[in-house]
Structure 1
Amino acid sequence: MSDISPETVVQAMVNNDAFSKWLGIQVLAIKEGYSKITMKVRPEMMNGLGVVHGGVAFSFADSAFAFACNNRNQLSLALDTSIQFLKPVHVGDQLVAEAGELHNGKSTGLYLVKIYNQHNHLIALFKGTCFRTTKPVVV
């Protein structure tokens, strides 16, 4: 949509994303239709059963999804998302989410996000479909 680099788009998104900042997300890699991010799990992210709250893991994956589907500087919004939790996550775990594009259409995109822990165990799978608008992320 523009000559603005994927990295510039994602940096602008991160600068304005208070929730991703609260999660402690750090961007590891960005390219068109792809993002890789990391975060460390903190005590305030635990639920009453002693594992990470599902909303934290979902939000982490959702940020990777957003960075991947918006980084061509075409504002894209979640249309449908789902997550499957495969292993528990605990305080101190270092998570990595990798979002990859499965389909890049004119009005929709489909992405798969894999979340791994520091032992390279797959702990969750997130699938997201986005709707592409005609607006830029960065003007």
Structure 2
Amino acid sequence: MAEAENIVNRMYSNDTFSKWLGITLDKVDVGFAQISMIVNGNMLNGFGIAHGGITYSLADSAFAFASNSQGRHAVSIETSISHTKTVKEGDQLTAVAKEDNLSNRLGIYTITVTNQDNDVVALFKGTVFRKDTLWSESARPEQNRNTPSND
């Protein structure tokens, strides 16, 4: 867990976009990240509700942190999102990213975004390509904990 936190803190320190959104790191573990932010007036669209890109960006950051916490550089190759409830100014959003499947080259993650009332406001799914590049020399190859894929 300490190595996962070190990796995510290192990523976050260089992540000007997540900082600009006001994202905070709540919990990090191997293959897991929980982050949060508050929606402000600059994030609203022409309907006076949060632009869909806000929940997407929050979920995408959680996805990046969770997938890279494994110790290898991981880059997004496919994502999708379903917006399930309106998000308003002042809402506190929390994104929880969980690993669904991990193989040598691919990782699949599900990210649930909720508001302060614990209502699900978005569901995000993403796939990463896992490079050979390690975040640090102390990052150890992990065991495939889930069903192996053919990659």
| TM-score normalised to structure 2 length | 0.88
Structure 1 stretches of at least 4 aligned residues deviating more than 6 Å after TM superposition: none
What is the CA distance between 1:136 and its match in structure 2?
2.0
Report the equivalent of 1:109: 107
> In the alignment, does 2:60 pair up with 1:62?
yes
Report the equivalent of 2:23: 25
CA distance in 2, matches of 1:4, 1:100: 18
What is the CA distance between 1:59 and its match in structure 2?
0.6
Identity of aligned residues (%): 42
Question: Tell me, which stretches of 5 or more residues in structure 2 are unaligned?
Answer: 138-151
In structure 1, the residue corresponding to 2:88 is in which secondary structure? coil
1:51 to 46, 49, 52: 49
Report the equivalent of 2:90: 92
What is the CA distance between 1:5 and its match in structure 2?
0.4
C-alpha contact 1:113 1:126 (8 A) present in aligned 2: yes
In structure 2, the residue corresponding to 1:87 is in which secondary structure? coil
CA distance in 1, matches of 2:60, 2:54: 10
Report the equivalent of 1:13: 11
CA distance in 1, matches of 2:64, 2:47: 29
1:126 to 115, 124, 133: 124
RMSD of aligned alpha carbons: 1.3
| TM-score normalised to structure 1 length | 0.95
C-alpha contact 1:4 1:73 (8 A) present in aligned 2: no
Which structure is higher in RCO with an 8 Å CA cutoff and minimum separation 6? 1
